[in-house]
A = this chain, B = another copy of it.
Amino acid sequence: MPKSTFQEIILKLQQFWADHGCLIAQPYYTQVGAGTMNPATFLRVLGPEPWNTAYVEPSVRPDDGRYGENPNRFQLHTQYQVILKPDPGNPQELYLDSLKALGIDPLKHDIRFVEDNWEQPAISAWGLGWEVWLDGQEITQFTYFQQMGGVTLDPVSVEITYGLERILIALNNAKAIWDEPWGANVRYGDIRQREEFEHSKYYFETADIGRVRKMYDLYSAEADVCLAAGLVLPAHDYVLKCSHAFNILDTRGAISVAERQAFFKRMRALARGVAEAYVGQREELGFPLLKEATPKEAIQPTFPEAVAGPADCVLEIGVEELPADDITTGVESLRKAFEDEVLAAHGLAHSALQVFGTPRRLVVLVSELAAREPDSQVELRGPPESAAFDKEGKPTQALLGWARKNQIDLPSEELTRDRLVQELTGGRYVTWRKGNLGSPTPSLLATLIPNVISRIKFEKSMRWNASGVSFSRPIRWMVAMYGETVIPFQYAGVPSGSTTRGLRPNDSPPIEIRSAGQYLDEMQRAGIVLGADQRKASIREQVQRAASFMGAEALLEEDLLAEVANLVEKPTAVLGNFNAAFLQLPREVLVSVMKKQQRYFPIEKDGKLMPNFVAIRNGDDQYLDLVQQGNEHVLGARFADADFFVREDLKQPLEAYRPQLEGLTFHTKLGSMLDKTGRIQKLVNDLIPMLGLEKAEAVFARRAASLCKADLVTKMVTEMTSLQGVIGREYALRAEEDQAVAEAIGEQYQATPRSQAGLAVALADRLDSLVGLFGVGLAPTGTKDPFGLRRAALGIVQPLLEHEREMDLAKAIGKAAKVQPVAVGARGQAEVLDFIAVRLAVLLKDAGHRYDVVDAVLAEQAANPAGAARSVEQLQAWVGREDWKTILPAFARCVRITRDQKKTFSLDPKALTEQAEKDLFRALQKAETALRAAARRDPDALLEAFVPMIPAVNGFFEKVLVMEKSKAVRENRLGLLQRIAGLARGIADPSKLEGF
């Protein structure tokens, strides 16, 4: 078969989309990072006018430059962009047809729609959709735009962005782009490889930072001027130029984290300005492209006559590929809504209820569902007696009107006080018990189901058509049957019916369901595995089989398994290989790439990775070799990229990256990451004695602290941020640092570091962030927590609990405050402590402890989480004791009577007069002695000391009047009680406890 050429692909797509009603536009005349930025998308998706377009867009992303060395990653890649506005109803099918036009047979490949939540903060835009994978390679982005330039889109636009180089690679089953033909007997590499080298070099090494900054400023100023003059397109041009200049600076490593925020804010404001001005302008022009809409005729559902029953009932919501998590959410939420609002609320008898989810359908199956709702009666309350009958006892108009409204059709002789009036709470009213005839199930469901569907909530949902309905992804068909009868309704513009669709690779063929009871059989016949658990089991089995075929084991993590099971309807495992030379790369890098980027299962033997992987394809086992090769090429390119980074990085030891942290801003007012590292080092020094680290551990902790952030400026971490720490650890080992130092570096990002050194570094890091960012007024508000401070607080509490390491957090916060470049006073420090305490409280309560117990302990011990946790355990046990109802009241009496006293009174034992008070004083002395002897200030010690005092306490209150008129006597007694109340100080606040 002759190879496809680059230009053929383009010409075919142009023809395909032109034939499908698209306006063919041209690439934009200024550098853009994506076809989205071309005004043919960015502007035209705004406002109500319809717009269908397609065009090539060579897209420039400086930081993707690889000097022409990577097989499929470049600073310039060629997008083919399609916009369909409004949604034509079948954009995925159109897209798949376009792939066929290019010669991609879906049966021979694995084509998948993989969740992708597209977001572009620089232009205030977002949408939901997918990456389309061809044999593991992302070849297209498919998005339903929801917002652009800050403007909510109505109608929604479908954006399809093909990656043409990758499609060419896939079509020719090639490893890399460079030798593939462009056209006219010229290789792609002949045209572009040298360009890639030069532009990469320019962006990474040559571009003059000062000058490009100036360009940015000039562009930005011109954009303002244009906006002020109402010149939307010139303004947009300058926004694009800003964006490209920013990208150069970023690639050149010239943008600090804080600056990035400022840049984005500025660009976002400009983009919004452009978008809003455009919409205004179009409105002024009267939206010239808006065509007269032919109003759709509303479908009048014909309700079936009463049907025989019981019968099985099926509801299948056919969707475009749902995100893995949304399948789970959808199934749960559908089950609940169906159970509650259909079956229970209407008393519908049934046997089994099954709910399934796959990427393309959410299904409810009810077996033997009753044919109609049971009849029921309701008591209706009418007007009060006085208003219902006149003096002669005749019904008033008010009564007659009410009866009419409620369809109570009574002969007038029935309309009497005697028959209708009853004594109710609140007076005498007309009442009527009305019988409701139960509806036939099909028409009942026709009314209920739309409501049930609307109750399904997802983390993120989207609109797609004029119905305005939101869902995880568009609903494209619905099967709703009761026995052989279609339950007729319409939702999101889609009418229900009896036709479902088969597997994607088979072109989703229509499948007619003749009766609800046959649904499962039809699905099976179509090869669709409806149950997530079944799919998981099948995948687990297939992956293990593939691994054992290699005499090895698969790394089968539950998370990944669950996700993969929700990416397919018919899982088939594909065993693939990669170049063993890549095994030189850090294991975590390999695993990350395979699992996170590719959703592959790695394989290991004797704890060592093998050069193999298992991918799961959606479909059967035909042409598995092609699918395997495609996936291998993709993984090869991914590893080549990682290898590029690691090789570049390892040219220097980890230590050498530390000074470069200077260029990475932590926060404008808090300095660079180098500054932060310095603070962490000082804090670690402070924490070492507080945490009681041994000498050797202390040495490791200090070294780890100095290196802990160095990996942030390596290329590998810049590329895959999730590898921070992991890479630091790996590079530390390769630089022959102590193993313990390396581990500490790796552990700093873990919820609970295992090593002592790791603990010290992690705490120091987190304390520094909290204190510093609170200090500059960046405490989280509402649900916003851009700096992850809640997690940081939890990351202080949790390790202290798990290591059962007591520590004075207040003191630690004080130390952290001292090293900040900004002043953080007592009040600020207290806020941080409170903030941490809230996390601690949540943690303890989530662990099953009583909220009052937690509150009581934290009121006194928030600054020492480990101690507080121990105290909560103890106090909770006390609270559960039989005698608690004697203990708490006794202590409470002492506390209650004294707590409003502003003054602390001194106790003069000699001035005690009555026996009961003398007894109490002695009991107190014993308790105080016992408490001191216990040498622990915790609830056990406290209460064990206090319990013996209870008789004395009770005796005291029975016999002694505390509030004696004589001031001296009164105050002496109060002093005694205050000392008893004071026993709990630093342990718990009993007033927080239930029953106090």
The interface of chain A, by Cβ under 8 A from chain B, is 7-8, 10-11, 14-15, 18, 21-32, 52-53, 56, 58, 60, 76, 78, 182-184, 186, 190-191, 194-195, 198-199, 201-202, 206-208, 211-212, 214-215, 218, 221-222, 225-226, 229, 231-234, 281, 285, 288-289
Asked whether B184 lies within 8 Å of A202 as measured between CB atoms, the reply is no
The docked-state distance in angstroms from the alpha carbon of A29 to that of B202 is: 16
- Chain B residue with the shortest CB-CB distance to A11: B14
Q: Tell me which residues across on chain B come within 8 A of A208, comparing CB atoms.
A: 221-222, 225
The docked-state distance in angstroms from the alpha carbon of A23 to that of B184 is: 5
14 A-B residue pairs with Cβ-Cβ distance under 8 Å, sorted by A, are A11-B11, A11-B14, A21-B184, A22-B183, A23-B182, A26-B56, A29-B58, A30-B31, A52-B184, A194-B285, A199-B231, A202-B231, A206-B225, A211-B221
From B198, B225, B231, give the contact of A198 (CB < 8 A).
Answer: B231
Min CB distance, A956 to chain B, in Å? 87
Asked whether A30 lies within 8 Å of B27 as measured between CB atoms, the reply is no
Q: Tell me which residues across on chain B come within 8 A of A289, comparing CB atoms.
A: 186, 190
Min CB distance, A202 to chain B, in Å? 4
Asked whether A26 lies within 8 Å of B27 as measured between CB atoms, the reply is yes
Asked whether B10 lies within 8 Å of A24 as measured between CB atoms, the reply is yes
The docked-state distance in angstroms from the alpha carbon of A201 to that of B226 is: 10
From B30, B76, B231, give the contact of A30 (CB < 8 A).
Answer: B30
Min CB distance, A446 to chain B, in Å? 39
Asked whether B78 lies within 8 Å of A26 as measured between CB atoms, the reply is yes
The docked-state distance in angstroms from the alpha carbon of A93 to that of B232 is: 44
Asked whether B7 lies within 8 Å of A184 as measured between CB atoms, the reply is no
Asked whether A190 lies within 8 Å of B232 as measured between CB atoms, the reply is no
Q: Tell me which residues across on chain B come within 8 A of A186, comparing CB atoms.
A: 23, 289
Known interface pairs A22-B184, A30-B31, A222-B208. Does A195 touch B229 (Cβ–Cβ under 8 Å)? no
The docked-state distance in angstroms from the alpha carbon of A202 to that of B229 is: 9
From B53, B58, B218, give the contact of A215 (CB < 8 A).
Answer: B218
Identical copies of this chain, number: 2
Asked whether A58 lies within 8 Å of B23 as measured between CB atoms, the reply is no
Asked whether A7 lies within 8 Å of B27 as measured between CB atoms, the reply is no
The docked-state distance in angstroms from the alpha carbon of A8 to that of B23 is: 10
Min CB distance, A247 to chain B, in Å? 13
Asked whether B194 lies within 8 Å of A281 as measured between CB atoms, the reply is yes
- Chain B residue with the shortest CB-CB distance to A210: B218
Query: With A18-B184, A22-B184, A25-B191 given, can you name 13 additional A-B contacts, CB distance below 8 Å?
Result: A11-B18, A18-B183, A22-B183, A23-B182, A26-B56, A194-B281, A198-B231, A201-B229, A202-B231, A206-B234, A211-B218, A211-B222, A215-B215
Q: Tell me which residues across on chain B come within 8 A of A15, comparing CB atoms.
A: 11
Q: Tell me which residues across on chain B come within 8 A of A27, comparing CB atoms.
A: 26-27, 29
From B30, B218, B229, give the contact of A29 (CB < 8 A).
Answer: B30
Q: Tell me which residues across on chain B come within 8 A of A202, comparing CB atoms.
A: 226, 229, 231, 234
The docked-state distance in angstroms from the alpha carbon of A211 to that of B207 is: 20
4 smallest CB-CB distances across A and B, nearest first, come from A23-B184, A202-B234, A7-B24, A198-B231
- Chain B residue with the shortest CB-CB distance to A282: B194
Asked whether A199 lies within 8 Å of B29 as measured between CB atoms, the reply is no
Min CB distance, A641 to chain B, in Å? 23
Q: Tell me which residues across on chain B come within 8 A of A53, comparing CB atoms.
A: 184
Q: Tell me which residues across on chain B come within 8 A of A24, comparing CB atoms.
A: 7, 10-11, 183
Query: Among A23, A56, A201, which residue has the most Cβ atoms of chain B within 10 A?
Result: A23
The docked-state distance in angstroms from the alpha carbon of A507 to that of B716 is: 63
Q: Tell me which residues across on chain B come within 8 A of A195, comparing CB atoms.
A: 233
Known interface pairs A206-B229, A218-B211. Does A199 touch B18 (Cβ–Cβ under 8 Å)? no
The docked-state distance in angstroms from the alpha carbon of A194 to that of B286 is: 13
Known interface pairs A29-B29, A214-B214. Does A199 touch B233 (Cβ–Cβ under 8 Å)? yes
The docked-state distance in angstroms from the alpha carbon of A56 to that of B24 is: 12
The docked-state distance in angstroms from the alpha carbon of A191 to that of B214 is: 33
The docked-state distance in angstroms from the alpha carbon of A25 to that of B183 is: 9
Min CB distance, A900 to chain B, in Å? 71
Min CB distance, A43 to chain B, in Å? 10
Q: Tell me which residues across on chain B come within 8 A of A29, comparing CB atoms.
A: 27-32, 58, 60, 76
The docked-state distance in angstroms from the alpha carbon of A715 to that of B322 is: 61
Q: Tell me which residues across on chain B come within 8 A of A182, comparing CB atoms.
A: 23
The docked-state distance in angstroms from the alpha carbon of A793 to that of B31 is: 52
Min CB distance, A572 to chain B, in Å? 38
The docked-state distance in angstroms from the alpha carbon of A14 to that of B199 is: 28
Q: Tell me which residues across on chain B come within 8 A of A207, comparing CB atoms.
A: 222
Asked whether B184 lies within 8 Å of A206 as measured between CB atoms, the reply is no
Min CB distance, A584 to chain B, in Å? 31
Min CB distance, A471 to chain B, in Å? 29
Asked whether A233 lies within 8 Å of B190 as measured between CB atoms, the reply is no
Min CB distance, A424 to chain B, in Å? 68
Q: Tell me which residues across on chain B come within 8 A of A211, comparing CB atoms.
A: 218, 221-222
The docked-state distance in angstroms from the alpha carbon of A289 to that of B194 is: 13
